[in-house]
Chains A and B, each alone.
Chain A
Amino acid sequence: ILNVEQSPQSLHVQEGDSTNFTCSFPSSNFYALHWYRWETAKSPEALFVMTLNGDEKKKGRISATLNTKEGYSYLYIKGSQPEDSATYLCAHASGGSYIPTFGRGTSLIVHP
């Protein structure tokens, strides 16, 4: 059973649109939530590590929020650009597991 769910599975937007997607995870025994950006033919690169309920992180036009009580995190991209096209992965670490479990990712395609 995959207990880290990401939605939507894929997303097509136009350049300049703002977009967001969701990562859901078990709320019990939460430890950390990681976001990664994975471009085609490259390896995943870390965006954020979030640990506290209510955390908000920002990197340029990309930001993320965290709700550990209800078990979700949102990733936002403001003014999407074609170079934002990638798969965005989240990974959840709990107190009972040393190793973060990855979701299946959201594939974002930004059309010029």
Chain B
Amino acid sequence: DTAVSQTPKYLVTQMGNDKSIKCEQNLGHDTMYWYKQDSKKFLKIMFSYNNKELIINETVPNRFSPKSPDKAHLNLHINSLELGDSAVYFCASSQDERLEAAFFGQGTRLTVV
């Protein structure tokens, strides 16, 4: 069983569209994250969410929003997609964000055309 799974793995879409990336973890972790990998492979935190608190990286445009229907899921919604949103997005989860290492999903490559 995959611990952290993301769907889809690849997503090609046109500018201006709204899209979602789904993430599910079966580890029973309390905290989930979304990261954006830039062109130089740098992992930049976008959101951190547990059942108590949503932490948003202030540099993330408000076109991006996390939705958590339950503890095991943290989906990423993106409105009005722009060319610059093209990147690989990683979902991750951990039991304790500081003391426990995160488990990462396989990534979603988003291409905006």
Using CB atoms and an 8 Å cutoff, list the residues of chain A in contact with chain B: 31-32, 34, 36, 38, 42-46, 48-49, 51, 87, 89, 93, 98-102, 104-105
Query: Is A105 within 8 A of B99, CB to CB?
Result: no
A14 to B8, CA, bound (A): 38
By a CB distance below 8 angstroms, the chain B residues around A44 are: 43, 90, 102, 104
Chain B residues with CB under 8 Å of A89's CB are 43
Give the Cβ gap from B1 to chain A, nearest Cβ, in Å. Answer: 15
Q: Is A98 in contact with B98, judged by CB distance below 8 angstroms?
A: yes
Number of interchain pairs (Cβ within 8 Å)? 54
Report yes or no: A98 in contact with B99, Cβ–Cβ below 8 A: no
- Encode B58-82 as 1/0 by CB contact (under 8 A) with A: 0000000000000000000000000
What range describes how many residues of B lie at the interface?
20 to 34
A53 to chain B, nearest CB (A): 16
Question: Cβ of A98 and Cβ of B40 under 8 Å apart?
Answer: no
Contacting residue for B40 out of A42, A46, A104, CB 8 A: A104
For B33, B43, B103, the residue with the greatest tally of chain A CB atoms inside 10 Å of its CB is: B43
Chain A interface main SS type:
strand
Which chain A residue lies CB-closest to B6? A43
Known: A32-B99, A99-B33. A43 touches B40 (CB 8 A): no
A46:B106 contact, CB within 8 angstroms = no
Q: How far is the CA of A36 from the CA of B107 in the complex (A)?
A: 16
A100 to B43, CA, bound (A): 11
Residue of B nearest to A36 (CB): B101
Does B33 lie within 8 Å of A46, measured CB to CB? no
Interface residues of B in 19-55 (CB under 8 A from A): 33, 40-45, 48, 55
19 contacts across the A-B interface (CB closer than 8 A): A31-B99, A32-B98, A36-B101, A38-B41, A43-B107, A44-B90, A46-B101, A49-B99, A49-B100, A89-B43, A99-B33, A99-B55, A99-B97, A100-B98, A101-B45, A104-B40, A104-B41, A104-B42, A105-B42
B101 neighbours in A (Cβ, 8 Å): 34, 36, 46, 48-49
